[in-house]
Chains A and B, each alone.
Chain A
Amino acid sequence: MSVVTDPDVGLVPGPVHDRIAALSRAQGWYGWAGHAAPSVLDTVEFEYFALRNQAALLDISPMHKYRVTGPGATAMLNRMVTRDVRRIAIGRVGYAVWCDEDGMVIDDGTLFRLAEDDWRLCCQEPMLSWLADACVGFDASVSDESHSIAGLALQGPTSFAVLRAAGFDVARLRPFDLTDAAPGIMVSRTGFTGDLGYELWTGWDEATALWDRLWRAGTDLGLRAIGYDAVNIARIEAGFLTAGVDFQPVHAVERLHRGKTPLELGLGRMVDMAKGHFNGRRALAGPRRHPRSLLLRVDVEGFKPAQDALVYHRRRREVGHITSGVWSPTAKRNIALAHVAMPWARRHPPDLWAEIYTLQEGRWDRRMARLTPVKHSFYAPPRARATPPGLT
């Protein structure tokens, strides 16, 4: 993360901090863009299963939110991100990734098209100065909404039922749709869990009222407030990337060659080389068209999470490392995301191994676990795409 917390200030409360603090029995907090955010409220297991089997509520207000408006807003964003944003219709949300001039990923995020020339960009990294630079030469302006717009993520199989009980009519909302569900409340069918879920956006000062409204509606629907640890398991199952973990945002690195191209992160489908110029296109069409490594989704042999393990080819040659590894309680598989250097990332058979260190009651041990690359998400329930969604 490139947000530095001022030690004199410490972490500041988010918009629904009072509600979360009252629920926090574990008292597990971490800093998210300078805000105190819960890593866990009671136990990770309870929270994870609430997310996968009931409904879970998470404050995502610390995300950075920027509003890009003006007659040139669409053209400006289209030059910035790698996909063709003109194909994101009004009322839709699109995942996007953007690169520096060398084709290295700066960050990824979601683009909300609110109107013809009115966009909101949600992302993990601070991006105001970059967006301001990107506006040069375009009839577009950018404003920082990070501290004026709050976001609540409501995720899980009963999330639609919770919204209905709360009086929001979102039955026709397809994945990646957005709608003004009530005055001052925008709902998008998006999330970071790969499950049925919604994100609700409202004013910073209205967030507590919205939280209470959802909380009351969720009483009989298994709604639980959760922390990031549970979301992290879900997002690895869905195969989603976290900036700073699965890739290093290139503006936040100081060492050379720590950046990754979208092709190296498996985001080649997000890169539209035919749409015209975009930032980094010449590098991606030229010297960087050949990936130096690939981010693979892998099944890990055994049950020990492979987080941070080194990856070997034929147990001998070091060819990469695991960035995110976890036991997936739903898929019942030991899963991980791994950076593997070329050409070993594309060898058949792969013959890749993770060197996992274990500490059991004072004794370190080392085991080599075979890695099996897989193509798709580790867990992708059909309910995530059903419209209208189910109630359970």
Chain B
Amino acid sequence: MTRHDAIVIGAGVNGLVAATVLARAGLDVCVIEQSDRLGGMATLSVDDGPELAHLVHNLSPRVRRDIGLDPHRWPFRQTALPTVALDESGRHVIVTRNAVTFADGTAHPDARACLALTARLRRYGELLRMLAEAAPPGGDAPLASARGLRQILRLGRFGLGLRGLGRAEARRFLQVLLSNAYDLIRDDLPEGPLAGMLAADAVRGIAQGPRSPGTVFTLIHRYGHGGVAALPQGGMSAVVDALAQAARDVGCTLRTGVRATGIQLQDDRVCAVTTASGETLLTSRVLVGSGPRLAAELVGAGAFDIEAMRRIGRIRARGVAAKVNLRLDRMPDVPGLNADQLRGRLVFAPGADYVEAAFNPAKYGEMSDNPVIEAVIRDEGAIWLSAVVQYAPSDLNGGWSDAARAALARRTLATLGRAIPGLDARVRETQVIAPDAIAAATGAPGGHWHHAEMTLDQILTLRPANGIGRYAIGPRGLFLCGASTHPGGDVMGLAGRNAAREVLG
């Protein structure tokens, strides 16, 4: 029997980060992963198609520092992509960090308002990032202890940051924080592709519409690290390779094809992990990437309090984003877009109302007739159009049959076809990865982007649920480290990094 100081179950982005942070503190860490690849949801792909995640928005520099990488650069190249808000009539809008123009280079009448709004979101994002880069406030540590003081200091800095916004802006921040993205966007922008693009960004990966309360928060979340979507060269595998290399560099053992079947306890403390192959790995700390439900299954409900089991059972994690990958015979022609613009982040959401209307069927277990789509076209040998299609709920009425997947592919093509005429003639191969397949392949609850819905009742100390909001869960030595914990997923790495720091105490 082998012994490790810590075992991480699940080699997703957060699991790898957590393992590295622990190993850098001197612990002997083993990461076990049930599938035969690293990266979890981020790198899930079928038949050499594009990976599930195609862009990075929020990859945290703090994480990069804490896993021992170059403090200024990731070891892979990233290209910041302009966002293209697609328009059926060909008046596409190009949005970069500093400019909003029509695709033909002419000035956009709402450019100033849009840039002001995104600049505000960026400032709010910087402020909230202070909370994201630490465990949620609270816990048992006495105020006078080192941990207690650190916490007070952090909250103090957050307070100063809030004051730093200025009185009027701080008031505005607090006014809109809990509110819905639709109102915020439409206060400043008329209905149209620009408003639609922001509304789509507010709800990407979550089971909410832009009019749902709390979507300003999720929109800010998207701007938490500047809001620029970047294409990592080599895809998400390059990101995960960098994380895995960082883990190996500090001595972590990474084992794929090893499925945990149980977590053993001794005297209310974690003592071992058993695997499907009959191995027993001795340890005193276990970090679970997939979420509290798997943790409870592995340990047994009896090791948790009744209230904890009730809350775990009621965590909302309803995945609504499906992945549709289309292999094309050549780059499509999009009237009004040049070749560079076509390689940008294409968003089809002609208006904020369109996004809200797309959400409506999902409330009743149906997929959108007219989905909201974020697409990237990459030409690396084969030409793939990689699309995140929303809303395609995990609890689809009738289940995700072949017919349902075909219907989603049809609707995706039809919707994209409104802005990219003749697209269907270009398609040579279609892949549909529905939320149920994501859940089955990665263990992500409900196939949800964040493992647990990002609503106000499931953030900070309430993430994923009251009483388990600070990574520790149930018996001593058991922790959560995945996207279901604060501050959520999105290939950010902070959840794993924060969890590891809690483990270290």
Contact = CB atoms under 8 A, between A and B. Distances in A.
Given A133-B309, A277-B268, A101 B302 contact: no
B302 A137 contact: yes
A80 B475 CA distance: 16
A277 B302 contact: yes
Nearest to A130: B306
Given A75-B302, A79-B302, A101-B308, A136 B313 contact: yes
A276 interface: yes
A101 B308 CA distance: 8
Interface string B290-316: 000000100011111111111001000
Contacts of B365: none
A281 interface: yes
A99 to B, nearest CB: 9
A240 B137 CA distance: 43
Given A101-B467, A137-B296, A287-B140, A280 B309 contact: no
Interface in A275-300: 276-277, 279-282, 285, 287
Given A101-B467, A136-B313, A279 B306 contact: yes
Contacts of A181: none
Contacts of B302: 75-76, 78-79, 137-138, 276-277
Contacts, number: 50
B474 to A, nearest CB: 8
Nearest to A136: B309
A59 interface: no
Contact of B268 (A137, A279, A282): A282
A47 interface: no
B140 A280 contact: no
Contacts of A100: 305-307
A217 interface: no
B318 to A, nearest CB: 20
A133 B305 contact: no
Interface string A71-103: 000011011100000000000000000001100
Interface string B339-370: 00000000000000000000000000000000
B67 to A, nearest CB: 32
A134 interface: yes
A200 to B, nearest CB: 32
A133 B268 contact: no
Contacts of B313: 136
Nearest to B301: A137
Interface string A255-288: 0000000000000000000001101111001010
A137 to B, nearest CB: 2
A75 B301 CA distance: 10
A277 B303 contact: yes
Interface residues of A, number: 21
Given A79-B302, A137-B302, A138-B302, A101 B307 contact: yes
A366 B457 CA distance: 52
B379 to A, nearest CB: 50
Contacts of B300: 137
B306 A134 contact: yes
A85 B398 CA distance: 44
B306 A133 contact: yes
A80 B306 contact: yes
A77 to B, nearest CB: 11
Nearest to B305: A101
A137 B307 contact: no
Interface string A114-151: 00000000000000001001101110000000000000
A285 B305 CA distance: 14
Contacts of A75: 302
A282 B472 CA distance: 13
Nearest to A99: B305
A101 B296 CA distance: 16
Nearest to A75: B302
Contacts of B296: 137
A282 B300 CA distance: 16
Contact of B305 (A78, A276, A280, A287): A280
Contacts of A277: 268, 302-304, 475
A176 to B, nearest CB: 26
A75 to B, nearest CB: 6
A244 B174 CA distance: 43
Contacts of A130: 306
A78 B300 CA distance: 14
A293 B467 CA distance: 26
Contacts of B309: 133, 136-137
A262 to B, nearest CB: 15
Given A136-B313, A137-B296, A279 B305 contact: yes
Contacts of B308: 101
Nearest to A283: B305
A392 B467 CA distance: 56
A133 B313 CA distance: 10
A282 B268 CA distance: 9
B312 to A, nearest CB: 9
Given A133-B307, A277-B302, A285-B268, 12 more contacts: A75-B302, A79-B306, A101-B305, A133-B306, A137-B301, A137-B309, A138-B301, A277-B268, A277-B303, A277-B304, A279-B307, A282-B268
5 contacts: A75-B302, A136-B310, A136-B313, A137-B300, A276-B302
The 5 closest A-B pairs by CB, nearest first: A137-B301, A101-B305, A101-B307, A79-B302, A133-B310
Interface of B: 140, 268, 296, 300-310, 313, 467, 475
